[in-house]
Structure 1
Amino acid sequence: MPRAILCVLDSFGIGAADDADKFGDVGSDTLGHIADECAEGKGDKEGLRKGPLALPNMDRMGLGAAAKLSTGKDVAGLDFAGEPEGLWGYAQELSKGKDTPSGHWEIAGVPVEFEWGYFPNEVPCFPQELLDKIYERNNLEGALCLAHGSGTVVIEEFAEEHIKTGMPIFYTSADSVFQIAAHEETFGLERLLKLCEDVRQLLDDYNIGRVIARPFVGSVESGFERTANRRDYSVLPPAPTVLDRLKDAGREVIGVGKISDIFAHQGVTKLLKGAGNDQLFEKTLEAMELAKDGDLVFSNFVDFDMLYGHRRDVPGYAAALEHFDRRLPEMIEAMQEGDLLVLTADHGCDPTWRGTDHTREHVPLLALIKGQKGGAIGARKSFADIGETIAKFLGVEQGKVGVSFL
């Protein structure tokens, strides 16, 4: 039996979703706007990249065709003239949010039908009764920031005071999340992780999706840098996912990157961590070597979202896409005959859009079965079609939501 390899290019949307008006995202288009800026020279950056966006390998799989199906427009720089070699289309999200857990859980066959809890965009953004419990239970004198913010900016602003006082940095975003940043050496990594575990327990009453540990190192003199020891503490998916069905069938589910954290370590049988897209690509190749017949390799490439989408960095996002595209043939070469490769995303994060939040977009759905021809799979009504395709392909029980495109 062949294997399945599922790669989530975190935040790589290809045009505003049908319900984008509910999220203030009508007109958003991560791929299209990056391509437009590159075509106009606004995506150039000395020593990084220059010229029109070049994604020939994903375009050959059907990226340009999928984007045109989504928006009705050609994408600047994507000009593959032949019939796409992969199965191509796009998917619409059913879940009520545009966050990481909702997107990934729906990809795995379980849409999020409830509303997450969120913290208001005010200072302090966290309820005082919650903060008092955290301080008392963790022997803290207080915390810094207590507001909405970007992780790198928050660290730059509060790191010096954090080191002097020992108070951790608490912040949130438009997502359902409580983030805690602390210095790995002065505060301690283990202490930070224990703090996050305790906060996770307290947040169940607030219906908050994730607590994220954001460790960093450095000094005022040398500058501060986040490390690869990030940890996400998520609630469990509301129902069994295709990962659980595969595990119950005795298959290996190898999670690469933050996949295991997103699913609260449920359904993942083996975990490979990596820092940055390039290392995550290497870990995906390693996972493919480990995978046996009927197994799933599930990878998240976080840099697109974390480093470039949220920071509204068009040249960085474009360069990261081009680098992934250049390496894509390595992944295809490592596939065995009959293996299934799926490239998709969990939401958008248009780097030209107002604010720093995710954007409600269609996501690309590009698939390749090695040794077989491709074709159009159209507009899919749910990300769950991906999970059910994998379930059917690997011969395990089908879920209640989603329709296989095979």
Structure 2
Amino acid sequence: MRFIMAKFIVVVLDGFGVGEMPDVPTVRPQDCGANTAGKLLNHFPLKQLPTLEKLGLINIVDATNSVMTPNPKANWGIADLAHYGCDTFMGHQEIMGTRPKPPLEKPFSESIDDIEQALQLAGYQVKRIFVKHLQLLMVSDSVVIGDNLEADLGQVYNLTANFNQITFEELKEIGQIVRSANAVSRNIAFGGYVPSMDNILNAIELKADEFGIEKYIGINSPDSGTYDDGFQVVHLGYGVDANTQVPLQLNKVGIHTYLYGKVADIVQNETGTSYTSVVDTDQVFELLINDLKEKSGFFCANVQETDLSGHQQDPKRYWNILEKADRGLAAVIDAMDQSDLLVVMADHGNDPFIGHTKHTREQVPLMLYSSKMQGVALGKRRTMADIGASVSSYFKAQLPESGQSII
């Protein structure tokens, strides 16, 4: 095949949006004024991200006080979110060529009875944890189940586990039972070696709906300590057809797919190589660069720590992670050949100045690097699926169900 030795690389800076979507005032008024990249650049005007500057970041986010400048040789554009809300799981399904469908919104309180019954029928010890008028489930004194408080409320349920008391394999079995008993778009089963269940229970929080009514209850994931030691995760999706996505389309024409970090946790890639449960930014790039030196195919890496910094509303940490990613991207470019392509993008926003700890519904940057292309306007894309379509087009594979190639 003509492109058998070529590489198409996508690096997703998770949560690095470039300004609110036009529909935000109507569908997510809490995100009005969101601009993750713009606010960070203004907050750190004397700091530099030389690789992202070279790739065209300031071409995209131009109204800032940053010492960095636009690059006339950069290939750049922006993309709208075609999925509802601003969810990492659905964002990456969209990048892989899925046409997103409207999600079900159902607080955990409306699913707790069905989930509890399914777990009890399977023989598990289940008890309820009461906080005010809301309840969580605890399974086998080692797993807490409730709303995900970081994604769009009501669309995701979390299972937070202490691996000092239960194995990841046992957690996944519980996760499958929970998945079978509810219809929200995603269930996430994850955990780490936490000193005590009190660390998890002390991270319980309640969240209010748009009317100020406390309606959601769950674990604040970054505060629970599960990311700190031995973190493992599985994302259990609903209604996503992997047969229409890029990895399986590429496999049909003999092209291998490599996934790194959170994208490996949430995108089905049975025929490829997936480096799951990798959160550390330096490790993500180390794994990616090692493969780029020896292998060819489609490579997609997710930098999750930017997103975690947004959830923590921590601009300083966010910028420190961007600096790590900038160095990693420089090493990626050094490992590329003339025929290779690199796309740097995001999946949504996570404005660390917005005043809440959830994702923000923002457009995402598109920065394309190739030694053969300079100064190309990629324009405004209607969906991030255009990247998946571009990958399939590049390797002469069948296009996914959504998206138009930009190359």
Do they fold alike, i.e. is TM over 0.5? yes
Q: Which residue of 1 aligns with 2:346?
A: 345
Q: Which residue of 2 aligns with 1:300?
A: 302
Alignment of 1:244-255 (within 5 A): 244-255=248-259
Q: Is the 8 A contact 2:58 2:70 kept in 1?
A: no
Aligned pair in 2 of structure 1 residues 118, 335: CA closer, same or farther (>3 Å)? same
Q: Is the 8 A contact 2:349 2:359 kept in 1?
A: yes
Q: Could you tell me how far 1:208 is from its partner in structure 2?
A: 2.8
Structure-2 separation of matches of 1:170 and 1:220: 13
Which of 261, 267, 274 pairs up with 1:271? 274
Q: Which residue of 1 aligns with 2:92?
A: 104
Q: Which residue of 1 aligns with 2:357?
A: 356
Query: Which amino acid in structure 1 is aligned with residue 121 of structure 2?
Result: E
Deviations 1:84-120 (A, max 9, x none): x3310110112223111221121122220x2212333
Aligned length: 368
Moved more, 241-250 or 172-181: 172-181
Q: Which residue of 2 aligns with 1:397?
A: 398
Q: Is the 8 A contact 1:138 1:195 kept in 2?
A: no
Give the TM-score normalised by structure 1.
Answer: 0.82
Structure-2 separation of matches of 1:185 and 1:370: 49
Deviations 1:228-266 (A, max 9, x none): 312222235246012221011121011112323312x24
Structure-1 separation of matches of 2:82 and 2:225: 39
Q: Is the 8 A contact 2:163 2:192 kept in 1?
A: yes
Q: Is the 8 A contact 1:308 1:314 kept in 2?
A: yes
Q: Which residue of 2 aligns with 1:291?
A: 295
SS in 2 for 1:231: strand
Structure-1 separation of matches of 2:283 and 2:37: 23
Q: Could you tell me how far 1:183 is from its partner in structure 2?
A: 1.2
Query: Which amino acid in structure 1 is aligned with residue 301 of structure 2?
Result: S
Deviations 1:128-171 (A, max 9, x none): 2322222332412325478999xxxxxxxx9xx979x7252112
- Structure 1: unaligned runs, 5 residues or longer: 40-51, 69-73, 150-157
Q: Which residue of 1 aligns with 2:10?
A: 6
Q: Is the 8 A contact 1:91 1:383 kept in 2?
A: yes
Q: Is the 8 A contact 1:116 1:209 kept in 2?
A: no
Q: Which residue of 1 aligns with 2:206?
A: none
Q: Is the 8 A contact 1:200 1:211 kept in 2?
A: no
Structure-2 separation of matches of 1:388 and 1:177: 27
Query: Which amino acid in structure 1 is aligned with residue 68 of structure 2?
Result: D
Q: Which residue of 1 aligns with 2:143?
A: 168
Structure-1 separation of matches of 2:395 and 2:83: 25
Q: Is the 8 A contact 2:56 2:70 kept in 1?
A: no
Residues 1:16 and 2:20 are matched in the alignment: yes
Structure-1 separation of matches of 2:312 and 2:364: 20
> What is the identity percentage for the equivalent residue pairs of Structure 1 and Structure 2?
25
SS in 1 for 2:103: coil
Q: Which residue of 2 aligns with 1:190?
A: 169
Alignment of 1:84-95 (within 5 A): 85-95=73-83
SS in 1 for 2:360: coil
Q: Which residue of 1 aligns with 2:118?
A: 133
Deviations 1:297-334 (A, max 9, x none): 111111111x2011111111111112211232111001
Aligned pair in 2 of structure 1 residues 397, 169: CA closer, same or farther (>3 Å)? same
Aligned pair in 2 of structure 1 residues 221, 28: CA closer, same or farther (>3 Å)? closer
Moved more, 16-25 or 234-243: 234-243
Q: Could you tell me how far 1:342 is from its partner in structure 2?
A: 0.6
SS in 2 for 1:385: helix
Structure-2 separation of matches of 1:146 and 1:288: 49
Query: Which amino acid in structure 2 is aligned with residue 250 of structure 1?
Result: G
Which of 55, 58, 79 pairs up with 2:52? 58
SS in 2 for 1:300: strand
Query: Which amino acid in structure 2 is aligned with residue 116 of structure 1?
Result: P
Query: Which amino acid in structure 1 is aligned with residue 186 of structure 2?
Result: G
Structure-1 separation of matches of 2:11 and 2:362: 18
Which of 195, 202, 218 pairs up with 2:195? 218
Q: Which residue of 1 aligns with 2:64?
A: 75
Structure-2 separation of matches of 1:278 and 1:169: 30
Structure-1 separation of matches of 2:129 and 2:269: 33
Structure-2 separation of matches of 1:310 and 1:253: 29
SS in 2 for 1:246: helix
RMSD value, Cα:
2.8
SS in 2 for 1:230: strand
Structure-2 separation of matches of 1:202 and 1:78: 53
Structure-2 separation of matches of 1:107 and 1:254: 15
Which of 89, 94, 103 pairs up with 1:116? 103
Q: Is the 8 A contact 1:18 1:92 kept in 2?
A: no
Q: Which residue of 1 aligns with 2:233?
A: 230
Moved more, 247-256 or 135-144: 135-144
- Structure 2: unaligned runs, 5 residues or longer: 200-223
Structure-2 separation of matches of 1:249 and 1:324: 31
Q: Could you tell me how far 1:66 is from its partner in structure 2?
A: 1.4
Q: Is the 8 A contact 1:142 1:167 kept in 2?
A: no
Query: Which amino acid in structure 1 is aligned with residue 192 of structure 2?
Result: P
Q: Is the 8 A contact 1:60 1:86 kept in 2?
A: yes
SS in 2 for 1:271: strand
Q: Which residue of 1 aligns with 2:247?
A: 243
SS in 2 for 1:364: strand
Q: Give the structure with the higher percent helix.
A: 1
Residues 1:30 and 2:36 are matched in the alignment: yes
SS in 1 for 2:89: helix
SS in 2 for 1:33: helix
Which of 160, 165, 179 pairs up with 1:181? 160
Structure-2 separation of matches of 1:142 and 1:169: 10
Structure-1 separation of matches of 2:279 and 2:305: 9
SS in 1 for 2:117: helix
Deviations 1:8-54 (A, max 9, x none): 11111011112222122221111112222334xxxxxxxxxxxx342
